[in-house]
Amino acid sequence: MATLLRIDSSPMGAASVSRHMSETFVESWKKAHPGGTVVTRDLTKSGLVSINAEWVAAAYTPAESRTAEQKAALATSDELLAEIDAADELAIGVSMHNFNIPSVLKLWVDQVVRVNRAFSYADGKPKGLLMGKKATFLVATGGAYGPGSGMESLNFIEPYLKTLFGFVGFGDVVFHTAGGAMALNYGADRAEFLQPHDEAVAALAAAHA
């Protein structure tokens, strides 16, 4: 049976547009994958911390030579990578923070984009090791940063994540962005705003059947 890993990174709880879209994706995905498994990871509740020198040293030490302390340093990374390994696809909710991804999502990235687990340079060239998986990014931005907009050059989310996930081996990376979400703070009707995004996100999930 197929497995979907849902990851949320917005701190806004029920008010979050990206979380709403990830929930919509899950609902449609379940219909397209009867009996499938959904694993949920809320990064705002995962207690992730920055990597440090000990983490880096452990990552570059061959697994069979790691000390107990080094294994402990990589325990969270191992757990997060195991979730990716077990998943056929990922659905990641992303809210724009200062033109880029939330800090908790960057902490997750640093834990999983790990040498000899997510990528290698065994032949002198970078090679992604997380092959054969799909990733759908459900992005919410306060302003409008889409193609052709005056703010397009300030959107670093899509180029960053597309480059990063391609680097580690994902061959199928899709984005759906709900731009202009700030309007909800100024009285825009939430259901009306979300309706076209619900339809688009549901179609994306169904297309992955």
pLDDT band with cut points at 50, 70 and 90 for residue 207:
confident
pLDDT in tens, 111-165: 999 999 999 998 889 999 999 999 999 999 999 998 889 999 999 999 999 999 9
Give residue 18's Cα distance to chain centre: 11
pLDDT band with cut points at 50, 70 and 90 for residue 1:
confident
Interior/surface letters 31-57, b for 16+ CB within 10 angstroms, e for the rest? eebeebebeebebbebebeebeeebee
State residue 209's pLDDT score: 67
Residue 165 β-bridge partners? none
At a CB cut-off of 8 Å and minimum separation 6, what does 79 contact?
Answer: none
Structural domains in the chain, sorted by start: 3-207 (3.40.50.360)
pLDDT in tens, 164-194: 999 999 999 999 999 999 999 999 999 999 9
CA dist 144 and 189 (Å) reads 17
Q: Mean pLDDT across the chain, nearest whole number? A: 96
pTM over 0.85: yes
N-term to C-term CA, the chain: 11
- The CA–CA distances, whole Å, from 67 to 57, 63, 116, 151 equal 11, 9, 17, 49
The runs of H, that is alpha helices, within 47-102 are 53-60, 68-73, 75-86
State residue 100's pLDDT score: 97
pLDDT in tens, 44-67: 999 999 999 999 999 999 999 999
